[in-house]
Structure 1
């Protein structure tokens, strides 16, 4: 839990700058660097439940990150040839 929490912002920081939890550490980075901002399903499947149970404020940061980046995800999907549906 220590290592997982070390990848999240402090509970005292504004979560607006949270960039998700990547399997390689920080997921930030420009073209050709790190994971190019990718955050994988590991965050939502394996990390989120533990964080949500004990740290609901941090769980909110995970959800806010996904909402904040959904337009970019849709653009990337369309560029790869996938049909994107509008949100509910």
Structure 2
């Protein structure tokens, strides 16, 4: 082989290596973006689930507080009745 052919082959190999590196880097970046998107979606689902659970818990606490207030009212009434009987 003569030198111009060797230089041409080395140039083609260098360009092919450069293109391969760019393809691999682009593929990795695309994969990283897909993973980030999946994580964002999972976080959104978790936040939505947390909000639903928090709302349900708040409603249950309000119902429990209302029931407790009603029981307190009944106990006070029974105490008054017992005091009046004594």
Taking structure 1 as the reference length, the TM-score comes to: 0.25
Which is higher, the Rg of structure 1 or of structure 2? 2
Larger helix fraction of residues: 2
After TM superposition, the score normalised by the length of structure 2 is: 0.25
